[in-house]
Structure 1
Amino acid sequence: MGREDQVEEREVLESIFPEEITDISETEFRINIILDVPGEEPADDTDNEPPSFLLAVRYPDEYPDVAPRLDIIAPPNAPAHLHFNVGDDRDALLANLADTIQENLGMAMIFTLYSTLKEAAEQLIQDRRDAEAKVAEEAALAAEREENKKFHGTAVTPETFLKWREGFLREMEEQRLREEEERLAELKKAKVKEPVKLTGRQLWERGLAGKVEEDDVAADEEEGLADGVEQLKVEAA
């Protein structure tokens, strides 16, 4: 175990990652890890590249009987990603490898560590996307609830019903009084404009029947006298 195992593992990694692996020295290399994010297709242009980072590996002399020295590095000029940042996520991702390293001591483990690290980073991104979607969904539901309040009346309780009934009865009484006042006002106007006409019986009972007839006769005589005067004036002319 030792250097021979390291060389053999390095050759296997070269066959698996022909373009992703870069040697730094005989015992140190880096593997570019490109993350597969659901819903984000790999882009052909550099302006929309998927998130990625470098796994830096250095073999101690006793590897694989002791853990390799690992680090996570951001690629040069790497575009920022909304849900992943090497600087913020580095420590959590490296800590996530502790159990895997202990389980694989004595065996070549770099490919296993690569797979575990890639899966953890992708899950981290998915968790953040899910949390973001949940916040957006809750905001939409809250807005919908506020909108629905416009179409729901106040819940009826004995207290609210009695309060409504009191107000309704008061409103109906006020309306009745207004209508009564308007009716009385109309009656007063009618009495002023149209004098009451007495019936023949009422005239007789009040002793006005003969007077009315005399007044009518006197009026007729005056009218006849006036007509006679006019006739004399015409003949004299």
Structure 2
Amino acid sequence: MDEEVTENLGMVMVFTVVTSALEWLAGHMEQLATAAQEQQQLQLKEKEEAERKKFEGTRVTVETFMAWKAKFDQEMSSVRTEQDRSAEKNQKLSGRQLFQTDQTLNQSDLSFLGDGEGEVAVDESLFQDLDDLDLEDELDDEDLED
């Protein structure tokens, strides 16, 4: 601006000074805009590079894989043994296993009921009045409901 004023001393210079000021301002704003745009592009590239590195991981070689696998197998075997121990504690024997392991279960249930000869006494008087019961009516009603 000072150069423009000294060059135009003695003439009508308002228009010339304002024009040169506008040109300088436009150029300066253009430089600021390009710098801001470059900064934004640089930040975007850095962000993309960080995302790419996040998914890149480490290179796997045979040696690193074998070391990892040995460690992993050791961890899994310790977990399996703990699970097996807890399962053995919580596992109930099946009927067959109980029968095979406990020889007292071989005795007949009838021996516990009475005289030990294997016969069970049945009171037949309980079954003599079956004609008085209306079982046929109940069976017919159940058939209708189905």
TM-score normalised by length of structure 2: 0.46
Structure with higher helix content:
2
Work out which structure has the larger RCO, using CA pairs closer than 8 Å and 6 or more positions apart in sequence.
1
